[in-house]
Amino acid sequence: MELGYDDYLRRHREVVYSLYRANMRNRMIAAYADGEIVGVVWVGMRVDTVHFVGVGYIYDIEVIRDLRGKGIGSKLLQMAEETCREWGVKEVMLAVEANNFEAIKWYERMGYAPKRYLMSKRLRAFE
Ligand SMILES: CC(C)(COP(=O)(O)OP(=O)(O)OC[C@H]1O[C@@H](n2cnc3c(N)ncnc32)[C@H](O)[C@@H]1OP(=O)(O)O)[C@@H](O)C(=O)NCCC(=O)NCCS
């Protein structure tokens, strides 16, 4: 979507707040280097809309570009999965853009596999 940066930030904040409130639980985990945040993962617990059981859901995982490939992302993901075990859920899910091939390869390496198709149809052009 072609939003200006301020609009993007505002929309991002609104979406994060509403998802955060809708979840049964949330945990945000940060990785630090020299006192600065260099990576984050946000994991929530929500109800799966197909089976109606609680599932862990990775909403966001990111490591700053300069520090990628050093094991930070996999450690964050592992901690998010441990959080899900602690919550007693049996499954952890996430959505990734179908054209984010690098992230898809990485998730597959971390043991994730496609389970459902999330389908989309454009009703009108994005403004
Ligand atoms: C995806 C992301 C979080 C991974 O974090 P990272 O810190 O770079 O990952 P790690 O260093 O922990 O990777 C661990 C392993 O995966 C491998 N790996 C790294 N990138 C890979 C890739 N694109 N494809 C396959 N394997 C990859 C590493 O070589 C490493 O393997 P090893 O343990 O055998 O040495 C990071 O690349 C990122 O922030 N990407 C941009 C944001 C993004 O796309 N997030 C997901 C969107 S939903």
Q: Mind listing the pLDDT tens digit for each residue in 80-99?
A: 999 999 999 999 999 999 99
Global pTM?
Answer: 0.89
pLDDT of residue 3: 82
Q: How far is 24 from 3, CA to CA, in rounded Å?
A: 30
Long-range contacts of 108-115, Cβ-Cβ distance < 8 Å, separation of 24 or more: 110/74, 110/77
Residue 69, ligand 1, Cβ within 6 A:
yes
pLDDT of residue 14: 96
Q: Which residue has the tokens 């198709």?
A: 117
**What is the mean pLDDT of the segment spanning 48-64?**
94
Cβ proximity of 81 and 74 under 8 Å: no
Residue 40, ligand 1, Cβ within 6 A:
no
Radius of gyration for the alpha carbons in the chain, expressed in angstroms and rounded: 16
Tens of pLDDT along 12-42?
Answer: 999 999 999 999 999 999 999 999 999 999 9
pLDDT at 1 over 80: no
Task: Tell me the CATH class for 24-127.
Answer: alpha beta
* Ligand 1 centroid from CA 73, angstroms: 6
Indicate the domain borders of the chain.
24-127
